[in-house]
Chain A
Amino acid sequence: MLTILPKTVQHVFIQPRASCQRCYQICRYATWPWSDTSSKPTTWNKAVSDAEKIVGYPTSFMSLRCLLSDEISNVALLMRKLVGTRHPLLKTARGLVVDGKYNIQTRGLLVLLISKSAGAAQNVSHNLSDPDIVDGIHKSQRTLAEITEMVYTANLIHKGVINLSALTPEDGPAQDMEFGNKMAVLSGDFLLASACTGLAELNNTKVVENISLAIGNLMESEFTDLRDKDGKPVLPSSVKFDDWLQQTFLASGSLLARGCQSAMELCGYDNHVLQAAFTFGENMAYAHQMQEDLKPFLKPEEHLQELTLTSAPVIKYLENNKTAQQTLIENMNFEKIVTLVKESPAVAECEQLCIEYGQKAKAALNVFPTSDAQNALVNIVNATAVS
């Protein structure tokens, strides 16, 4: 699959990180990009690769069409200049083609799965006559899944624009960084514009409105009290758990909830189903973020460095101990923070919340009849919320 990427794209994205041979293998076995370096598949990997079989193809190359466009290969060509610099765009771009933690294209997969779950509820014999429905998923729903990924990726790229005034000598020449910014702005804009055109072609103004709101929310998530001007997590005084909920909704819940809801809208479901799809997406996002936030506390030996000050357990801890904030911020040592928070009930509370979000997500799926697709969604929720 990778071999059909333009030479320039291959060169820039892949060469610095891994041999093409390796990528090729990963692609062939279709577990990419969730495959860990360890050979033993995790519950998550299995849930996802099973799900991919149900929707008909690996979803990892969802934005491939965009990557193949003239504009993006032009950027790729110019981006060779960035190799060796510290501009975040390089990391993001590499993540799009090579496996890495940036490449969890689950949004699109979830949109496809929920579409198929809903489709199973409709009259099957009627569907068979519609050539736009393949594997129980309507063409427009597949486009929507792609758009969801494009919007997410565009945001990822634009979040990587750096403030030139914040540069330090270690960042290398300012010119390189300025150039990197230029490329980031252009490629992010290109993805957003493609998403807009794709949305227009869906011929449904409610879906356009819903996804546009999600784009707005993604931007708002960078302008909250939990983020500084360079996008780094910061703790405001008297932080509440509601702040975490709001941050998570804006940064990931909104897009997933609205994406799932729009997939239902495209096939003309009633409000009851639209609401259930929204609830599923929203709670799935909370559960996923909670799982990520808990990792440094549950497995500090592997994930300590992933700790952020605005992770749920820290915020929960501070909400319970209002006076502790000063001490915590002064003690920026990750190990100390983990120890401190672990001694409190915060971690257990967060684990409980994670399970509850999972339950809410699964409950929402009850509007659909049992099917392979619905079962795959339940497995993904279980892999997220119960670990």
Chain B
Amino acid sequence: MASVSSRLQSELLKCCRFRQSLKKCLSMNINIIQTRRLASFQNGFTADILQRNPLLVCVCGNKIQSREVRLFSDSALSDNIGRRGDNPASVSPFGLVEPELDELCSNIKQKLTPQNKELADITQYYFDGKGKAFRPMLVMLMAKAINVHMKKSASLLESQKEVSMIAEMIHTASLIHDDVIDASDTRRGKPTVDTLWGQRKAILAGDYILSVASVAIAKIRNEEVVYILARVIEDLVRGEFMQLGSKEDENARFNHYLKKTFKKTASLIANTCKAVAVLAECPDDVVEIAFQYGRNIGVAFQLIDDLLDFTSCDHVMGKPTAADLRLGLATAPVLFATNHHPELNSMIMRRFSMEGDVERARKMVANSNGVEQTRVLAEEHSKEAMYQLSHLAPSVFRESLGNVANAVLTRTK
């Protein structure tokens, strides 16, 4: 291992003259690069992206082209995207689409009008306007940024509004099912649907919401969009299945985790962003930008989520969260921590089922740099999202999407 590390270090020094990334990666355990390289390769990072990312480039031994290096450097990014906080009112992500978001819940409720009162109550339960509406917000911003890029009016097309609603509906349906699977009691500060109406009706109502979302998808009357959004539903379910199993091999395990993260969280964001781009009649390369932005934001979002599951319990003493460990799930911080604590491997395989496993795993994660490494990986994805944006025409919406990419990293809950 030592020889690999030293070779990597010398290559790093040779290739990456840009300070930040280098400093970061040298201060971290060098293993992150290997893991990430493997994971990234297997997760469909294109050669293009590998070339741009010096961290990945150095391990691949590819030559970096100066143009791309400039694009990747932070100053180039801030020139392209606009500095954060320049004009807080105009680029606040939620502020820019506030009128549309205000209508969102009532518009969704208008679709969820079954004859039966109880079914209506259950399906409308989470559309009370108190949710974050992160996904619809992002989809709307992307739609506006794309509309500007295509030299059209920024205002949303009806079909793009529909996609933002569908995103929230699919998300909600999956939450209702997840809560039954994970046996959670509360969600968004309210009792979950299944604690109020029982598991059976919760599942059937979730299916109902999904069917209404499917009708809305069909009514857009665009076969490609139907196909893109059907993909989201399939990914959500396959992601849930992936969570049932874990891989024996460590590298395969990290890859499995990243794939699961894409399917369970990022696919919805990536594909809804893609759908609004298709509806704006963008050429393929712009559609791909929207998709890649959404994908990277989604993965970064989930990585931070997994990280917060460990860090928030450090601050709130006596109230351990570590909800994922309790469910038997090994997320990025644990997977990174196995480099320092190989004994975590057997706990992962038995899904932290033995007495004291959860506590011990938590301590081991705290005593490793698993949390920092997770953050670095999230930062990489956030940067990649930023890079994707640099291809779009400048607008407040693009700027705001850049802020979202930052905000995803800094959120604390």
A-to-B contact residues, CB < 8 Å: 70-71, 74, 78, 154-155, 158-159, 161-166, 178, 181-182, 184-186, 188-190, 192-194, 196-197, 199-201, 203-206, 208-209, 212-213, 215-216, 218-220, 222-224, 229-231
**Contact across chains for B223 and A203 when beta carbons are under 8 A apart:** yes
**Contact across chains for B180 and A181 when beta carbons are under 8 A apart:** yes
**Contact across chains for A220 and B230 when beta carbons are under 8 A apart:** no
**Contact across chains for A161 and B200 when beta carbons are under 8 A apart:** yes
Q: Which residues of B contact A215 (CB under 8 A)?
A: 207, 210-211, 214
**Whole-angstrom distance between the Cβ of A228 and the nearest chain B Cβ:** 10
**Whole-angstrom distance between the Cβ of A190 and the nearest chain B Cβ:** 5
Chain A residue with Cβ nearest B230? A200
Q: Which residues of B contact A189 (CB under 8 A)?
A: 177, 237, 240
**Whole-angstrom distance between the Cβ of A111 and the nearest chain B Cβ:** 19
A74 and B245 contact, Cβ closer than 8 Å, known pairs A192-B210, A196-B214: yes
Among B114, B181, B211, B233, find the residue whose CB has the most chain A CB atoms closer than 10 A.
B211
Q: Nearest 9 CB-CB pairs, A to B?
A: A212-B214, A209-B218, A200-B230, A163-B198, A216-B211, A208-B218, A219-B208, A215-B211, A223-B119
A223 and B210 contact, Cβ closer than 8 Å, known pairs A71-B238, A78-B244: no
**Contact across chains for B244 and A223 when beta carbons are under 8 A apart:** no
Q: Which of B118, B183, B199, B230 contacts A163 (CB 8 A)?
A: B199
**Contact across chains for A197 and B231 when beta carbons are under 8 A apart:** yes
A213 and B215 contact, Cβ closer than 8 Å, known pairs A71-B238, A190-B237, A219-B119: yes
Give bound CA distance, A224 to B114, whole Å: 11
**Contact across chains for A216 and B218 when beta carbons are under 8 A apart:** no
Q: Which residues of B contact A197 (CB under 8 A)?
A: 230-231, 233-234
**Contact across chains for B218 and A220 when beta carbons are under 8 A apart:** no
A206 and B218 contact, Cβ closer than 8 Å, known pairs A185-B180, A196-B234, A215-B211: yes
A223 and B214 contact, Cβ closer than 8 Å, known pairs A161-B180, A199-B230, A216-B208: no
Cβ of B236 under 8 Å from chain A? yes
Cβ of B32 under 8 Å from chain A? no
Cβ of B37 under 8 Å from chain A? no
A165 and B198 contact, Cβ closer than 8 Å, known pairs A185-B177, A185-B180: yes
**Contact across chains for A163 and B200 when beta carbons are under 8 A apart:** yes
A219 and B230 contact, Cβ closer than 8 Å, known pairs A185-B181, A186-B241, A190-B237: no
Q: Which residues of A contact B181 (CB under 8 A)?
A: 182, 185-186
**Contact across chains for B214 and A193 when beta carbons are under 8 A apart:** no
Q: Which residues of B contact A203 (CB under 8 A)?
A: 223
Give bound CA distance, A356 to B231, whole Å: 43
Among B214, B222, B223, find the residue whose CB has the most chain A CB atoms closer than 10 A.
B214
Give bound CA distance, A32 to B198, whole Å: 37
**Contact across chains for A219 and B199 when beta carbons are under 8 A apart:** no
Please encode chain B, from 257 to 279, with 1 for each CB lying within 8 Å of some chain A CB and 0 for all others.
00000000000000000000000
**Contact across chains for A71 and B241 when beta carbons are under 8 A apart:** yes
**Contact across chains for B233 and A193 when beta carbons are under 8 A apart:** yes
**Whole-angstrom distance between the Cβ of B113 and the nearest chain A Cβ:** 11
Count, chain B residues at interface, CB 8 A: 45
- Known: A185-B177, A215-B214; 17 extra A-B contacts, CB below 8 A, are A155-B207, A158-B203, A186-B181, A186-B241, A193-B236, A193-B237, A199-B214, A200-B226, A200-B231, A203-B223, A208-B217, A215-B210, A216-B114, A219-B207, A220-B115, A222-B200, A222-B204
**Whole-angstrom distance between the Cβ of B38 and the nearest chain A Cβ:** 22
**Contact across chains for B199 and A205 when beta carbons are under 8 A apart:** no
A220 and B199 contact, Cβ closer than 8 Å, known pairs A158-B207, A208-B226: no
Q: Which residues of A contact B183 (CB under 8 A)?
A: 178
CB within 8 Å of A: which B183-238 residues = 183, 197-201, 203-205, 207-208, 210-212, 214-215, 217-223, 226-227, 229-231, 233-234, 236-238
Give bound CA distance, A196 to B198, whole Å: 26
**Contact across chains for A219 and B245 when beta carbons are under 8 A apart:** no
Cβ of B116 under 8 Å from chain A? yes
B-to-A contact residues, CB < 8 Å: 114-116, 118-119, 177, 180-181, 183, 197-201, 203-205, 207-208, 210-212, 214-215, 217-223, 226-227, 229-231, 233-234, 236-238, 240-241, 244-245
Q: Which residues of B contact A188 (CB under 8 A)?
A: 203, 207
**Contact across chains for A209 and B219 when beta carbons are under 8 A apart:** yes
**Whole-angstrom distance between the Cβ of B50 and the nearest chain A Cβ:** 29
11 pairs across A/B with beta carbons < 8 Å?
A159-B204, A163-B201, A181-B180, A193-B236, A197-B231, A203-B223, A213-B215, A216-B208, A219-B119, A223-B118, A224-B116
**Contact across chains for B221 and A161 when beta carbons are under 8 A apart:** no
**Contact across chains for B211 and A212 when beta carbons are under 8 A apart:** yes
Q: Which of A204, A206, A230 contacts B200 (CB 8 A)?
A: A230
Q: Which residues of A contact B214 (CB under 8 A)?
A: 196, 199, 208-209, 212, 215
Give bound CA distance, A361 to B243, whole Å: 47
Q: Which residues of A contact B244 (CB under 8 A)?
A: 74, 78, 186
Give bound CA distance, A102 to B208, whole Å: 23
Chain A residue with Cβ nearest B114? A220
**Contact across chains for A162 and B215 when beta carbons are under 8 A apart:** no
Q: Which residues of B contact A213 (CB under 8 A)?
A: 211, 215
Give bound CA distance, A229 to B110, whole Å: 25
Q: Which residues of A contact B222 (CB under 8 A)?
A: 205
Q: Which of B204, B220, B237 contacts A158 (CB 8 A)?
A: B204
Q: Which residues of B contact A212 (CB under 8 A)?
A: 211-212, 214-215, 217-218
Q: Which residues of A contact B215 (CB under 8 A)?
A: 209, 212-213, 216
**Whole-angstrom distance between the Cβ of A193 and the nearest chain B Cβ:** 4
**Whole-angstrom distance between the Cβ of B252 and the nearest chain A Cβ:** 15
**Contact across chains for A220 and B116 when beta carbons are under 8 A apart:** yes
**Whole-angstrom distance between the Cβ of B224 and the nearest chain A Cβ:** 9
**Contact across chains for A161 and B230 when beta carbons are under 8 A apart:** no
**Contact across chains for B240 and A201 when beta carbons are under 8 A apart:** no
Chain B residue with Cβ nearest A209? B218
Chain A residue with Cβ nearest B235? A193
**Contact across chains for B207 and A192 when beta carbons are under 8 A apart:** yes
Give bound CA distance, A163 to B215, whole Å: 29
Give bound CA distance, A162 to B241, whole Å: 21
Q: Which of A70, A185, A194 contacts B203 (CB 8 A)?
A: A185
**Contact across chains for B241 and A190 when beta carbons are under 8 A apart:** yes
A205 and B116 contact, Cβ closer than 8 Å, known pairs A181-B199, A193-B234, A213-B211: no
**Contact across chains for A220 and B200 when beta carbons are under 8 A apart:** no
Q: Which residues of A contact B200 (CB under 8 A)?
A: 159, 161-163, 222, 229-231
Chain B residue with Cβ nearest A206? B218
**Contact across chains for B218 and A205 when beta carbons are under 8 A apart:** yes
Give bound CA distance, A181 to B215, whole Å: 27
Give bound CA distance, A369 to B366, whole Å: 75
Give bound CA distance, A208 to B217, whole Å: 8
Give bound CA distance, A196 to B181, whole Å: 21
Q: Which of A190, A201, A222 contacts B227 (CB 8 A)?
A: A201
